[in-house]
Amino acid sequence: NEVWMYRLVARYFLEQGWAVAKPSYRTYPDGDIPSQVQDLELAASVLESKYPNLTKRAKTITFMGHSSGSHILAMMLVTRAKQKLQDAATSFPLECDEFVGISTPFNLSQHFDYEAARGVEELSPLKAVAHFTRQGMDEQSPALQLVRLAKDVKDETRLQTAFPPRMLFVHGMDDTTVPFATTSETARVFRSCGLLQVTELYLPKVGHEEAVLQLMMGGICPERVIEWMKTVGRESTGSATVAAQSRL
């Protein structure tokens, strides 16, 4: 959708005194997933060139997305990691210190099967944006591409340093659009590949749309994400599950 629809997403982060940018990208049929990744890289380049004082003095740069936006960011990070592993001198605009993925479909082929089981696969652009093939879905699945990358890189330390040092996977436990098991499975895959810098955060009584709406209107999602960004993300990794009695 249009980026102006999500202006309020910046609200709670601005209250922390943090600068926020909300880039957009082409959607189907105007662009496929690689072109969407290119759009985000272009946005990063423009931000760095237009606001050099702001971006260069920032202590932490966080990439954050929800649902398909988070998926594209994850693909962007995997693509960057591949290039860094091929050439250690490779640099990118806005090098990411933290990645926060909310309600993310990390495995497109698996998610397509979930959509098909619900009878909504023809309504979803997923199949089309992946060029109508399983191969296309697998090639644009961050979790699967990470596994392939890990097989080619024997040194786990090199792989770790090619990714952000802190990553938070957030999922609402009432999400019926992208089931929260997707996040737990992906976190397991990341750790099995040597990326131990992953924290999981599960939010009770939060659905798919509610997660992003809470970022705009308030709720447990922005509260816990900001808490992690200010403390947990800089001190430890692991699994964090919010208690069911937490304020909604």
Res 56 pLDDT > 60: yes
The predicted structure's pLDDT at residue 1? 60
The predicted structure's pLDDT at residue 232? 63
On whether residue 171 sits in a domain, the answer given is no
On whether residue 248 sits in a domain, the answer given is no
Tell me how far apart the alpha carbons of residues 113 and 91 are, in angstroms, rounded to a whole number. Answer: 37
The predicted structure's pLDDT at residue 243? 33
Tens of pLDDT along 83-98? Answer: 999 987 788 999 999 9
On whether residue 236 sits in a domain, the answer given is yes
Tens of pLDDT along 158-173? Answer: 999 999 999 999 999 9
At 18, which amino acid appears?
W
On whether residue 24 sits in a domain, the answer given is yes
Q: What is the mean pLDDT of the chain?
A: 88
The predicted structure's pLDDT at residue 248? 24
Q: Which residues pair with 64 in a beta bridge?
A: 100
* Count of structural domains within the chain: 1
CATH number of the domain at 154, please.
3.40.50.1820
On whether residue 28 sits in a domain, the answer given is yes
List alpha helices for the chain, DSSP H: 11-14, 33-50, 52-57, 68-86, 108-118, 126-129, 134-139, 142-152, 156-161, 181-192, 208-217, 220-227, 233-235
Q: Which residues span the domain enclosing 29?
A: 3-162+178-241
Mean of pLDDT values over 59-76:
95
pLDDT over 70 for what percent of the chain?
93
On whether residue 170 sits in a domain, the answer given is no
Using 50, 70 and 90 to split pLDDT, how confident is the model at 68?
very high
On whether residue 202 sits in a domain, the answer given is yes
The DSSP 8-state label assigned to residue 93 in this structure reads S
On whether residue 246 sits in a domain, the answer given is no
